Amino acid sequence: MLKIHGIARSRAFRCIWAAEEAGLPYEIVPVGFGAEHKPEVLKVNPNGKIPALQDGALTLFESLAINLHIADKAGAPLMPVGNDASRVLQWTLWAATEIEPVHQQWAYNTYILAAEKRDAAAARANAEALGQRLAVLEKHLAAGGPYLTGKHFTIADCNLAAVLYGSWMNGFDYAPYPKAKAWLDACLDRPAALKARKLREG
């Protein structure tokens, strides 16, 4: 039984989705914002953040690493082999290093922070930066697709779509990126994603 420490309205959403895609039994250990530095939480994640995963004797932190582990337990097609396994790692790291930093700054200054604390210039700059990265995704999907490694949905799609979820839900303009929008719609409307979204959005 996987134990996912966190709440669905956090990055634990990604891990819940991955567990649903993998068809693995899991338990959510509720750890909300503000509880991350409690001693019992720090024993699981010394970073004082959520989520964390316990899988038997294994404890992991970092949501996208947790998802790679979950996918590895499930095997193909969620975690393919050979060159596609390397592509999964590439797109997962791209999500973490290229997408998430600018996405988060756009989100903070668009809908997360209180209105009086938002920086409109930062929101515009990070929207532009996110758009530049989405143009890369658009070109990739146009050349292959419908998923990141080709015909099959993999954990790379889950990871990247989960990182982009906030922009998808909160009004980012995807009109210039129709392939990316169609891919994101398809990912986030999957049965496993809908189960995770119900926990997050409900």
CATH class of 2-74: alpha beta
- Flag whether pLDDT at 117 surpasses 90: yes
Half-sphere exposure of 186 (CA within 13 A, CB side): 16
Q: What is the pLDDT of residue 145?
A: 84
Average pLDDT over residues 5-20: 98
pLDDT in tens, 120-139: 999 999 999 999 999 999 99
Q: How confident is the model at residue 21 (pLDDT cuts 50, 70, 90)?
A: very high
Mean pLDDT of 35-53: 93
Give me the phi and psi of 7, to 5 degrees please: -135, 155
| Chain mean pLDDT for the chain | 97
Give the model confidence (pLDDT) of 58-74 as tens digits: 999 999 999 999 999 99
Q: What is the pTM of this model?
A: 0.97
83-190 maps to CATH 3.40.50.1360: no
Q: Helical H runs in the chain? A: 12-22, 39-42, 63-74, 83-94, 100-107, 120-143, 155-169, 178-188, 191-201
pLDDT value at position 170?
A: 97
Distance CA 141, CA 148 (A): 7
- Decide if pLDDT at 36 tops 90: no
pLDDT over 90 (residue 80): yes
What are the boundaries of each domain within the chain? 2-74, 83-190
